[in-house]
Structure 1
Amino acid sequence: MMSMASQKLEGKRILSESRRNPVKSIKSPDGDIIDCIHIAHQPAFDHLLLKNHTIQMAPNYHPEILLDKSKMSNFELQRKHHTRPIAQLWQLNGKCPKGTIPIRRTKKGDFLRARSILRLPTGRLPRFRFPWRPRTAPVKNSATYEYAYAFVQSKEYLGTKATINLWQPQIDDEDQGGSSLSGVGVVGGPSTRELNSIEAGWIVNPERFGDNRTRLYTCWTSDGYRSTGCYNLFCSGFVQTSNEIALGASLSPTSVYNGSQYNISIFIWKDPNQTLWWLQYQNKTIGYWPTSLFKYLVHNASAIIWGGVVSNGKGDGLNSTTQMGSGHFPEEGYQRASYFRNLQILNGSNTLVTPDDMITTVANQPNCYGILLGNNTDWGDYFYYGGPGKNPKCP
């Protein structure tokens, strides 16, 4: 454990590094400050493995998409041309110049709230858990995790793409460490301790961000979250190339129960001509993770995962009212339950295909948070998931 003096020094370093001589700063309507930092001065290059890294501004290769207009359903054609825009609120007040990247400024309040940030680079990072890989090390904080997700693991994978329903789940007011996320992940490694993982999606985390807004997130690890990796750009590793999208910034609007529905698209893939894993959000390339960060994600992933995770800082997850997804059970269906749809995997031929019957679903507390798999012409492979947490049937 760090001494109090070491914690203070580390805190000052983190806060100062979040203000790296911005070219421009933008005040977001939600209270965030977005600093436009020169692309060469971003946190990624503090990593020892990236000291002499040359920035790759765009993929050399973009995977072939299986669908073409002749094969798309009328629903998909309408969706393609009438997609409801999902904005990041800071964009309403300006944009970052070319040659810079937007970084959400870490405030002193953020640092004080996220007390666990100095115990591990990940802090209390909700992470996807693998039932076929039992935990081999004790949890280093009191947080518990509940999850409902789908996965495939029978082949070698080069990426995944999915459409994720966007909601603003409520976090238990009495749980200072509570959070709820929904995302996709590419993973590799023979054990939990050696797990390599790259994830992206949306998250609500009051401890980290100081509010209940739904925000874009990424995270990664090369050792099962024990000592490597973090959210967004909070530590070195992820190389951002986009000057339009800010990791950790809030997303708007979110879906309404029995009302309008909003989605985001996440695509993670490995460029076969580069040693990079690229991240695409809403058809915009954000940046990449160099494979030098990993041991088991150098050539491909061994599993793909999609779903939701809630964390409870009190260590008593089954007594938490933190919601997953919309906060409603999957059986309620469209406009009520949250969903993932158009699940696709990138195969060894660099083609996006549907997983079909390879998908397995897992919910460790189905009476609290459930998952229901389906397939149809319009949505392809999909699932509804989520729940309210504590309820009469939840043990």
Structure 2
Amino acid sequence: MAIRVIILVITIVCYISYYGKAQEDTIKLSKEEELELEKELNLLNKPAIKTIKTDNGVIYDCIDFFKQPAFDHPLLKNHSYHYKMKPSSRPKTTNENKESLGIGLKGVGCPIGTVPIRRTTKEDLIRSKLFTKTYSSSRFGSFTPKKPGLRRAVLRTIADPSKKYNGGGVVTSVYQPGVTGSQFSSSQMSIINGPDSIQVGWTVNPTLYGDSKTHLFAYLQAGATSCFNTQCPGFVIVSTQIPLDIILQPVSQRGGPTFTLSLFVYRDQANGNWWLEVGPNSTQVGFWPGRIFSALDTGLATYMEWGGEAYTPLGQAAAPMGSGFFPQDQGKQISDAYCQEVTEINESHEQVNADNTELFSDDGTLYGVKDWGPSRGNLGHVMFFGGPSH
């Protein structure tokens, strides 16, 4: 185990050196590093029953449900899951599925009994390891960033020992902020208890994906284990149509038209699994098994937040968040990035408008956040975020 850790650290250092030298065309790795990466790639890239190439050139392999990477997790070796799984309990929801963004692989998707997983290259794996390492180490406590240059503009729950959450939901406008280099920009919902967290949303992250497109994403922190999408064992996919890292198109333009993405994460009361539903039809994409967590296993979430996040290396102009503009006067919803139908799932397993919340921005001079409150008719609880200020 120690040797593997050393190899991975050396690999990341090699990549950092490579990434900062645009004139180099190849990543130079030792034989041992190459072997370690090949071993991990073999675990991630399972034999495909069918291959789908998207219009953007992304390759997805349709993998036998029982051979997906999730089941490489040591706690899931003797699982009893199957591809027709459904949650045994689902909260009563208020989401009216007003979403305008279609999501999923074109055509028929993957065959029944298989799941779509993006094919991973060596460069993909190195980029993912580098970014996940820096991202996971930049957080502590109540999800407060400690990484210089990482900023949030969010609506968050106020600390209250009496409040627990079985999950939550959001409908967020989807943009494609123009980030550069190692910058990234996201809109997300976070569900947290101590060392465990689940994040879902959209992001533009060239370091993670190797492009400047807007992607659906999920992030898992289970104790010391952390990763994006399916880069580590844990998330069990059941959908044949929606990969966790799919490119989202079209995207919103400031002043219209606006396209939105609905996300819903909830805990199954019977077994503690955390389910993810995405899109206008509340498609059940998959779940994080409760057994892989420590705090989110038998316990509920103690903290939630909704809104934007952006990272800018020191010395650079601030990365755009949301629409790239500071939120203007309330009421101009079409002009600003927003989250509507911001909900929580209470201890009675009911979806309700998020209350007992507060606004937070790491740097209010750069990134703004505004709150309409929870009484906006069929829009539910609405908040706005974005920046930098101009």
- For residues 66 and 277 of structure 2, what CA distance do their matches in structure 1 show? 20
- For residues 57 and 144 of structure 2, what CA distance do their matches in structure 1 show? 41
Q: 3-state SS of the aligned residue for 2:88?
A: coil
Shift of 1:302: 0.6
Q: Please give the per-residue CA displacement for 1:311-346, whole angstroms capped at 9, x wherever unaligned.
A: 23x3x1x73342111111112632221000111111
Q: Please give the per-residue CA displacement for 1:241-282, whole angstroms capped at 9, x wherever unaligned.
A: 111111111011111111111111111110111221111111
Shift of 1:92: 2.5
Shift of 1:62: 1.2
**Mapping 1:43-82, distance limit 5 Å:** 43-55=69-81, 57-65=85-93, 80=98
- For residues 115 and 367 of structure 2, what CA distance do their matches in structure 1 show? 37
Pair 1:156-2:164 in alignment: yes
Q: Percent identity?
A: 31
- For residues 232 and 276 of structure 1, what CA distance do their matches in structure 2 show? 17
Q: Please give the per-residue CA displacement for 1:87-123, whole angstroms capped at 9, x wherever unaligned.
A: 34xx235510000000011123424545616xxxx23
**2:184 paired residue among 179, 190, 207:** 179
In the alignment, what sits opposite 1:72? none
28 and 123 in structure 1: CA distance in 2 versus 1, 3 angstrom threshold: farther
In the alignment, what sits opposite 1:87? 103
**Mapping 1:286-325, distance limit 5 Å:** 286-298=285-297, 299-312=299-312, 314=313, 316=314, 319-325=316-322
**Mapping 1:201-220, distance limit 5 Å:** 201-220=201-220
In the alignment, what sits opposite 1:258? 255
Shift of 1:49: 0.9
Q: Please give the per-residue CA displacement for 1:36-93, whole angstroms capped at 9, x wherever unaligned.
A: 00010011111111111121511011111258xxxxxxxx6xx74xx424234xx235
In the alignment, what sits opposite 2:119? 105
**Mapping 1:263-282, distance limit 5 Å:** 263-282=260-279
In the alignment, what sits opposite 1:347? 346
Contact 2:103–2:242, Cα closer than 8 Å, also in 1 = no
**Mapping 1:120-139, distance limit 5 Å:** 122-125=132-135
Q: 3-state SS of the aligned residue for 1:157?
A: coil
Q: Which amino acid aligns with 1:294?
A: F
In the alignment, what sits opposite 2:24? none
367 and 65 in structure 1: CA distance in 2 versus 1, 3 angstrom threshold: same
- For residues 334 and 242 of structure 2, what CA distance do their matches in structure 1 show? 27
Normalised to the residue count of structure 1, the TM-score between the two structures is 0.82
In the alignment, what sits opposite 1:17? 43
In the alignment, what sits opposite 2:26? none
In the alignment, what sits opposite 2:178? 170
Q: 3-state SS of the aligned residue for 2:207?
A: helix
20 and 216 in structure 1: CA distance in 2 versus 1, 3 angstrom threshold: same
- For residues 142 and 209 of structure 2, what CA distance do their matches in structure 1 show? 32
Pair 1:197-2:197 in alignment: yes
Q: 3-state SS of the aligned residue for 2:61?
A: strand
- For residues 116 and 286 of structure 1, what CA distance do their matches in structure 2 show? 26
Pair 1:36-2:33 in alignment: no
- For residues 169 and 365 of structure 1, what CA distance do their matches in structure 2 show? 18
Q: Which amino acid aligns with 1:220?
A: L
Normalised to the residue count of structure 2, the TM-score between the two structures is 0.83
Which stretches in structure 2 are left out of the alignment for 5+ residues? 1-5, 11-28
Q: Which amino acid aligns with 1:164?
A: T
* Length, aligned pairs only: 352
127 and 338 in structure 1: CA distance in 2 versus 1, 3 angstrom threshold: farther
- For residues 146 and 84 of structure 1, what CA distance do their matches in structure 2 show? 28
- For residues 374 and 37 of structure 1, what CA distance do their matches in structure 2 show? 44
Q: Please give the per-residue CA displacement for 1:131-167, whole angstroms capped at 9, x wherever unaligned.
A: 86767xx86xxx6311111111430111101111111
Pair 1:370-2:364 in alignment: no
In the alignment, what sits opposite 1:71? none
- For residues 107 and 243 of structure 2, what CA distance do their matches in structure 1 show? 13
Shift of 1:388: 3.0
Q: 3-state SS of the aligned residue for 1:59?
A: coil
In the alignment, what sits opposite 2:53? 27
Shift of 1:128: 9.0
Contact 1:266–1:279, Cα closer than 8 Å, also in 2 = yes
Query: Segments of 4+ in structure 1 off by > 6 A?
Result: none
- For residues 279 and 22 of structure 1, what CA distance do their matches in structure 2 show? 24
Q: 3-state SS of the aligned residue for 1:230?
A: strand
- For residues 189 and 114 of structure 2, what CA distance do their matches in structure 1 show? 27
Q: Please give the per-residue CA displacement for 1:220-256, whole angstroms capped at 9, x wherever unaligned.
A: 1123xxx412000011011111111111110111111
Shift of 1:293: 1.5
In the alignment, what sits opposite 1:192? none
- For residues 51 and 236 of structure 1, what CA distance do their matches in structure 2 show? 11
Contact 2:142–2:303, Cα closer than 8 Å, also in 1 = no
Q: Which amino acid aligns with 1:266?
A: L
**2:232 paired residue among 207, 231, 235:** 235
Aligned-pair RMSD on alpha carbons? 2.4
